[in-house]
Amino acid sequence: MTDRFDRFIAHLAEAEVATDACNQYAYADGFNAVRRENLRLYLHQMAARDPQVLLVGEAPGYQGCRRSGLNFTSDHLMLNPPAGVPILGAAAGYRMSPEYDRPRKEPSATIVWEAIASTGLLPVIFAAYPFHPFQAGNPLSNRAPRADELAQGRIFLAEMLDLFDFTMVLAVGNLAERSLSALGVDFIKLRHPSHGGKPAFMAGFQAVARQMGKEYDR
């Protein structure tokens, strides 16, 4: 039976993107079936925990969601989550795409999941633009999504907001802030963890965890 998550993933898979972007869920690439299944499993695991918080990043990176199908999540983290994280893991059914020979780590993903593990606050994670934008001619690179891509992303972001009953939304970085503002959503802005932003991101995430009544480690 098709559920709301299946419909959401199908909508992602059917989306058309520019030649300097990759839809890592698209039906045209057989490897993407693994990423669609990882995302389906993630959404169902999160739904079972009645998530209250949505964390919105910028866009998938080539070492993270482009490989795993999960935002701010490398395939290494997906298969080997930090202690105390109640979801993810190979034992739960997550798989690395067979196009790769070994899992990779991604710096920002590592910081985000360190914050989650240390606080106990487990948000649903998504992106302002849910596909991987790259520098033309170099798929193993990242770039910021353009205005038209952010406009396309807002369609999916609005759908994500309807999938769960969130009570708080976190914007990680300027582009997430811009997209959520355009949708008229109330949010708390956090510093992006990249480019030396880890201390500020961790402090902001810990403050949110305190506000949500979670225990955390300094």
Beta-carbon contacts of 31 under 8 Å, excluding residues fewer than 6 positions away, are 97, 98, 99
Tracing tokens 């990176």 back to the chain, one arrives at 61
Tell me the C-alpha distance between 10 and 193, whole Å: 30
Domains and CATH numbers, the chain: 4-211 (3.40.470.10)
HSE-up of 3 (CA within 13 Å, CB side)? 7
Tell me the C-alpha distance between 26 and 175, whole Å: 24
Q: What number is the average pLDDT over the span 172-189?
A: 97
- The pLDDT score that the predictor gives to residue 70 is 98
CA-wise closest residue to 33 among 105, 103, 96: 96
pTM above 0.85, yes or no: yes
Tracing tokens 């989306």 back to the chain, one arrives at 15
Q: Dig out the tokens for 189 from the structure.
A: 């802005």
Residue 167 buriedness (CB in 10 A; 0-12 / 13-18 / 19+): exposed
Answer yes or no: is pLDDT of 217 > 70.
no
Kindly state the helix (H) or strand (E) to which residue 125 belongs, with its residue range: strand 124-127
Decide if 120 contacts 84 (C-beta within 8 A): yes
Q: Dig out the tokens for 170 from the structure.
A: 């976190």
Residue 14 buriedness (CB in 10 A; 0-12 / 13-18 / 19+): exposed
Decide if 67 contacts 104 (C-beta within 8 A): yes
- The pLDDT score that the predictor gives to residue 1 is 46
Q: What number is the average pLDDT over the span 190-208?
A: 95
Report pLDDT digits (tens) over 117-173: 999 999 999 999 999 999 999 999 999 999 999 999 999 999 999 999 999 999 999
Planar angle of CA 130, 29, 35, nearest 5 degrees: 50
Answer yes or no: is pLDDT of 218 > 60.
no
- The pLDDT score that the predictor gives to residue 128 is 98
Query: Which is it for strands 132-133 and 21-22: parallel, antiparallel or unpaired?
Result: antiparallel
Report pLDDT digits (tens) over 38-90: 999 999 999 999 999 999 999 999 999 999 999 999 999 999 999 989 999 99
- The pLDDT score that the predictor gives to residue 212 is 87
Confidence grade of residue 2 (pLDDT, cut at 50, 70, 90)? low
CA distances from 100 to 26, 33, 65, 131 (A): 18, 14, 14, 19
Tell me the C-alpha distance between 206 and 188, whole Å: 13
Planar angle of CA 76, 166, 214, nearest 5 degrees: 65
Confidence grade of residue 215 (pLDDT, cut at 50, 70, 90)? very low
Confidence grade of residue 214 (pLDDT, cut at 50, 70, 90)? low
- The pLDDT score that the predictor gives to residue 71 is 98
Answer yes or no: is pLDDT of 103 > 90.
yes
Q: What number is the average pLDDT over the span 200-209?
A: 96
